[in-house]
Amino acid sequence: MTGFSRESESFKWGTLSVEISSINHRYLDVSIRLPRELSFCEPSINDQVRSSLRRGKVRLSVDVTWPSDLLAVTVNSDILKNYYYQIQKIQEDLHISDPINIVSLLHLPGVTDSPSNRQDMEKEVEQALEDIVRKAVSSLQVMREKEGAHLEEDINTHLSSFHGFLNNIQNRWINARDEAMVETRERIKKILEENGPDLDEGRIAQEIALMADKWDISEELTRAESHIKKFQSILKSSESEGRKMDFLIQEMNREINTIGSKVTDSDIRWLVVEAKTALERIREQVQNVE
C-alpha cells in the first residue's frame, strides 16, 4: 500500500531528518539512502524496516545537518609529510623541478579523517536514528492502515459481486442440467431404437457416466463457495495475510475457469466472464495488501 512519512529531530550534535515512502509491490523491496558518514547504520535500519513491513516498494532517505565544529575534518600531519617527502624524492630522482601542490595531497588516503568528536558519538547517533526511523515507520503504517480500510471495502464489494455471479451460475445450472439430462435421454432412446439389442448396454452406461462427469460443476461450485468463506475470514483477521488472499484468488479463478470449460450454456458462460472480471478486480487490490 502507498504511504509517506517524514520525521525530524534536533540534538546537540546536529539534526536528523528521515523520509520514508511506500508504493504498491507484490513483495518487500527496501531501498535506503544514507549520508556517507552514517553508512554504518544501514544494517540496523534495514533490519528495522523489514521487521515492521511485509510488502511494498519502500524508499527511506536520511539527511543529517552537523554543527560547524563537527564539520571540520582533521589533517594527519605525519601522513601528509610522508607523502610530501616521498613525492619530493621521486621528483629529485626524475629531475623534476615543479613545486608540489600540498592541497592536492589532501585527497590521498589517510591524510584527512572525520572529526574525532563525530566518531566518538557514533552509538548515540545510531540510537537516535533508529528512534526516528521507528516513528517514521509508525506514521507510515497509520497512513497505510487508512488506505487498507478503503481497500477492504472495495475488495468486499467485488467479492459480493463474485458470490452473486456464482449463485446465478448455480441457479442457472440446475435448469441447464435438467435440460441436458432430458436431451441425453432422448439421444440414448434414439440410439437404442436405431440399433436395437446389438448395442452394448454396459458401454452406454459408461458413456453416460463420463458425460455426466464432464458437465457436472457441483464440485467446482462447492469449492468456490468454500474459498469465498475462507477469504472473508482472512479479511476480518487482524493479521497480514495478503499472500494467502492472493492464493485463494488463484484457486477461485481455477474453479470458475473449469466451470466455463465444462458448460455449453450461453447464459452460464456469460456469468463466468462476469465472475472472472470481479476476481481480476479483487486480484489487483490484493496485490496492495500485506
Tell me how far apart the alpha carbons of residues 59 and 251 are, in angstroms, rounded to a whole number.
Answer: 33
Closest C-alpha among 232, 78, 283 to residue 86: 78
Lowest mean pLDDT among 124-138, 166-180, 206-220, 226-240: 206-220
Residue 59 has pLDDT above 90, yes or no: yes
Q: pLDDT higher for 268 or 23?
A: 268
Q: Is the pTM of this model over 0.95?
A: no
The full set of domains in the chain, from first to last, is 3-70+126-142 (3.30.230), 74-113 (no CATH), 146-286 (1.20.140)
Distances (CA, A) of 63 to 33, 37, 171, 219, 275: 9, 11, 62, 59, 49
Per-residue model confidence (pLDDT) at position 114: 60
Q: pLDDT higher for 187 or 7?
A: 7
Per-residue model confidence (pLDDT) at position 202: 64
Per-residue model confidence (pLDDT) at position 76: 79
Average pLDDT across the chain, whole number = 82
Residue 256 has pLDDT above 90, yes or no: yes
| Cβ(162)–Cβ(228) below 8 Å | yes
Residue 36 has pLDDT above 70, yes or no: yes
User: At how many degrees (to 10) do helices 122-195 and 266-286 cross?
Assistant: 170
Per-residue model confidence (pLDDT) at position 240: 60
Q: pLDDT for 238-248, tens place per residue?
A: 666 777 888 89
Residue 62 has pLDDT above 90, yes or no: yes
Distances (CA, A) of 76 to 50, 66, 67, 89, 288: 40, 22, 22, 20, 53
Per-residue model confidence (pLDDT) at position 252: 93
Strand ranges across the sheet with 14-23: 3-11, 14-23, 56-65, 28-33
Tell me how far apart the alpha carbons of residues 149 and 190 are, in angstroms, rounded to a whole number.
Answer: 60
